[in-house]
Chain A
Amino acid sequence: MADGTDGFAVKLWRSRSGRAGIILCSLIVLAAFCAPLITLYNPLEMGVGTRLSGPSGQHPMGTDEYGRDIMTRILYGARISIVAGVGAVLIASFVGVNTGMVAGYFGGALDSVLMRIMDAIISFPATLMAIVVIAIIGTNSLSSILAIAIVNIPTFARLTRANVLSEISKGYVEANRALGFSHTRIMYQEILPNVLSTLFVQITVSIANAIMLESALSFLGLGNPPPAPSWGSMLSTGKDYMLYAPTYAIFPGLSLTVLIVGLYLLGDGLRDVFDSRQSGGR
């Protein structure tokens, strides 16, 4: 493992999609967290410009229906998307990986019960499940994160379980048991490192899908309540003012697409690196 780890970042950078993904994602993350350095306006301050004006030197992406600067709102809105996507996937992968690990390692009745619960979640289409969860817990800044997390848990549980089962069939798990190692040690120190690479690829792709779902939810009015500058709700209001300010609905969607493309590319790059390591190492 050690000889592969130090060359990892270099390999990722050398893969074309990996490099493009790193550049796009870091640009957006940097822009989001350095927003106060890039723009002088406040995302919630009304009347900094005339209402619904098109792009100009002062407001590069125009202004919205309350005269707020759209570029400022997009920059701060990126924070909402990133926090929601990363937060939801962190929760989902934590719960999902542990569920899959326990189910796959111990098997038996525990496995059946846990996996039937996962099946129940999957039997709902993802958007519908998220909407229903939000209807139960109400709309606030945390509820969409929680809803998206729940939708994503089964993916991680199933993936981890499948990987754990194939690891268990290899000799080393048996050997570790014979050595008298505790279950926790075998699960988290021996098996987990071997399944991490597949998980990393899945995490990247899931973050992209989570960000997309968060925007869809706030587009439907079920995400961060106004006046939060979330991209989805900007798109939905932008659509209403399409006749007066056609560019309003273009920029939030463009930012969303660029971020998603960046994450997909990063996922492709990670997969390339892990695949080459696997085929080259054996």
Chain B
Amino acid sequence: MIPAVLVISFVVFMIINLIPGDPATNLAGANASEAQLQALTVKFGLDKPLLHRYFIWLGNFLKGDLGNAIISDQPVLEMIGSRLGATVELTIVATIFSIVISLPLGVVSAMKPNGVIDRVSTMFSAIFFAVPGFWLGILLILLVSVVLGLLPASGRVAFSSDPIGHIRSIVLPMLTISLGMAARTIRYTRASLMDVLSQDYITTAKARGVPKEKVAYRHALRNALIPVVTIVGLQMGDLFGGAIVVEQIFAWPGIGRLVIQAISWRDYNLLQGTVLYIVLVFMVVNLLVDIINAMVDPRIRLK
């Protein structure tokens, strides 16, 4: 884990420093004097060699300091922290909602293939599997906000100032993410459960006279859920890094929007910190998925 973090921090630092354009020149403006430019270059430590700068940055990072953002001069960690709530909230709400839709549909579809529910849910997942999230978001805004006028089109209302308004503002971004997620989860749940239901030990259990429902829920579902946990976990890992496009559509003030802003401001420090944060979270979530899988499936042993 620790070597991986070091490698990732090095890769992120080097990659971000490949971006052309110098933040000092950028901040000083076109009319800056040579002395002003020099002062800014020294201030940001840009006069030192690249590797030297990496070790300074790494040392500070290990002390919990990612430096200050160049444009706003706020600590990067503080800026990430202020966006974290919005992203985590959206991720968790969207994941829960997608599981609530997809798990029952997937299970019922697998138990009665080609039944009415199976057909409806297969169609649902085929549609939302292919519809790009950003178009779905636009369609929802068009239908729910513009035509029906039911919910706000963008922005996030603070929970403390207006709890109802806060819930209203999260509905559309949540739907945009969770419908696509649910489409994938339904497919995996159905395929995985059908696969397990066709195995010998299930036939044995049925032959012993165990009721069909009990076979499905007690014997099959636990094994069938292993690949589902993986796919949900991986999607969550992606989301904790900020649903970049969805946050952009709904002007949702999360991490994903911060990345886009950091790029358009050419703020290296901010971009470096945010990208490092996202990659680390992605890694931790993948690790957690492995641990959960090992808990659900005793056959899997962690190295």
Contacts and interface: CB of A to CB of B under 8 A. Distances in A.
A253 B131 CA distance: 8
Given A242-B141, A242-B146, A128 B249 contact: no
B117 interface: no
Interface stretch (B22-30, B204-212, B274-282): B274-282
A135 interface: yes
B245 A219 contact: yes
A212 B18 CA distance: 26
B100 interface: no
Interface string A127-138: 110011001101
Nearest to A254: B135
A123 B263 CA distance: 20
B134 A125 contact: no
A71 to B, nearest CB: 18
Contacts of B135: 235, 249, 253-254, 256-257
A135 B16 CA distance: 8
A216 B132 contact: yes
Interface stretch (B7-15, B61-69, B82-90): B7-15
A219 B138 CA distance: 12
Given A125-B278, A242-B141, A253-B138, A131 B259 contact: yes
Contacts of B134: 215-216, 219, 232, 235, 253
A205 to B, nearest CB: 11
Interface string B237-253: 11001001100110000
Nearest to B18: A136
A238 B134 CA distance: 12
A235 B138 contact: yes
B241 A249 contact: no
Contacts of A82: none
Interface in B211-266: 237-238, 241, 244-245, 248-249, 259-260, 263
Nearest to B262: A135
Contacts of A260: 130, 132
B97 interface: no
Contact of B20 (A120, A138, A216, A264): A138
A159 interface: no
A215 B19 CA distance: 23
Contact of A261 (B15, B130, B238): B130
Is chain B's binding surface mostly helix, strand, loop or mixed?
helix
A244 to B, nearest CB: 11
A220 B19 CA distance: 18
Nearest to B154: A239
B142 interface: yes
Interface in A50-70: none
A78 to B, nearest CB: 15
A33 interface: no
Interface in B111-150: 126, 129-132, 134-135, 138-139, 141-142, 146-147
Nearest to A138: B20
Interface in B131-186: 131-132, 134-135, 138-139, 141-142, 146-147
A241 B258 CA distance: 24
A246 interface: yes
B108 interface: no
Given A120-B7, A136-B19, A220-B260, A239 B141 contact: yes
A195 interface: no
Interface in A233-270: 235, 238-239, 242-243, 246, 249-250, 253-254, 256-257, 260-261, 264
A188 interface: no
A243 B20 CA distance: 38
Given A128-B278, A132-B16, A136-B18, A242 B245 contact: no
B77 interface: no
B278 A239 contact: no
Contacts of B275: 124, 128, 132
A257 B282 contact: no
B283 interface: yes
Contacts of A239: 138, 141, 249
Contacts of A242: 138, 141-142, 146
Nearest to A124: B279
Interface in A198-212: 212
Nearest to B282: A125
Given A120-B7, A120-B11, A246 B146 contact: yes
B260 A124 contact: no
Given A124-B278, A128-B279, 14 more contacts: A124-B275, A128-B244, A131-B263, A135-B271, A216-B134, A216-B245, A235-B134, A239-B138, A239-B141, A246-B142, A249-B142, A257-B130, A257-B135, A261-B126
11 contacts: A120-B7, A123-B279, A124-B279, A125-B238, A127-B244, A128-B244, A135-B271, A238-B138, A239-B141, A242-B138, A246-B146
